[in-house]
Structure formats: structure tokens, C-alpha cells
Amino acid sequence: MERSLVLIKPDAMERGLAGAIIGRLQGEGLNLVALRMLHMDRPLAERHYAVHREKPFYKDLVDYIISTPIVAAVLEGENAVERIRELMGATDPARAAAGTIRKDFGLDVQRNSTHASDSPENAEKETGLFFKENEIFD
């Protein structure tokens, strides 16, 4: 069994889409094992997006992710990381495949509604930023 960290980003929160997006993932057989609503502070956002520190969009991205409360979730299933990335679609909603979450809900390349871990190693690291081990259920 594999776990992935999913964030419902501010653009989706503002449009009341958290339940719809998590529901889609559950509908695909992924098991919700942790859930939390929080307003990320800048240090947490900077740690979460540390790999993008040198990118031109980094500062905007951090400002955006801390602009409203978000929902963080851990979903579990076989091959969960890859399956969730597929269900979310490409980073840019305009390039995302039909039927993906970002195609259906994303607004633009930054405001693309969701984050999902891109490897099992990163899933473990990212999950640790948002949840204690005893907040994740079997």
C-alpha cells in the first residue's frame, strides 16, 4: 500500500470544491486516511515548495498557497502516487487530459486546484509536513 499527500489549493477552496475533489479520488478506490484544514504559514509553504526555490514562479506560488486556508489529505491505495497524478492531470489545466481534475476544475498553470506528491519518497516527506503519524489512520 502506498500513500500520497493531496492539497486542495486556494482556487478550489474559494469555489467550494474540496469535497468534490476528494470525492473523486475516493470514487476511484483511493482510501482517505488523513484529513485536515489549515492556513499554511510562509515557512511551511517554503518547505513544501523548497524544490522550486530557484524557479521564477516560486515567490508567487508561495504567496498563492498561503492566500486562503487549504485542505490537506492523505490518500492510500496500490500505486497511489502515480494513480493520483494521473487523475489530476498535467500541471497546466489547458494541457491536462479530458476528465482529469485539473482539466475540469483548474483555472491556470498556478491556480490548478490541487497538489499531489510526485514520488513515494516525496509523499512521505510531504505527509510529514502536515500530519503526525498518529493522525493517519488505517
- Residues contributing to the site for ligand IDP (CB under 6 A): 52, 57, 61, 91, 109-110, 112, 115, 118
Active site residue 39: no
Q: How far apart, in Å, are the Cα atoms of 68 and each of 6, 45, 76, 124?
A: 16, 12, 26, 24
Beta carbon of residue 118, minimum distance to Mg ion (angstroms, whole number): 5
Strand partners, 114: 8
Contact (CB, 8 A) for 112 and 91: yes
Closer to ligand IDP by CB, 79 or 91: give it.
91
Cell of 1: 500500500
Options 28-36, 65-73, 94-102, 117-125: segment touching Mg ion (CB under 5 A) = 117-125
Contact 111, 63 (CB under 8 A): no
> In angstroms, what is the minimal distance from the CB of 104 to Mg ion?
19
- What is the three-class DSSP state of 89? coil
Question: Angle formed by the axes of helices 80-88 and 120-130, to 10°?
Answer: 80
Nearer of residues 47 and 135 to ligand IDP, judged by Cβ: 47
Cα separation of the two ends of the chain: 11
Nearest distance from C-beta of residue 118 to ligand IDP, angstroms: 5
Stretch touching Mg ion by CB under 5 A, among 7-15, 92-100, 115-123, 126-134: 115-123
Active site residues: 115
Residues that bind Mg ion (CB under 5 A): 118
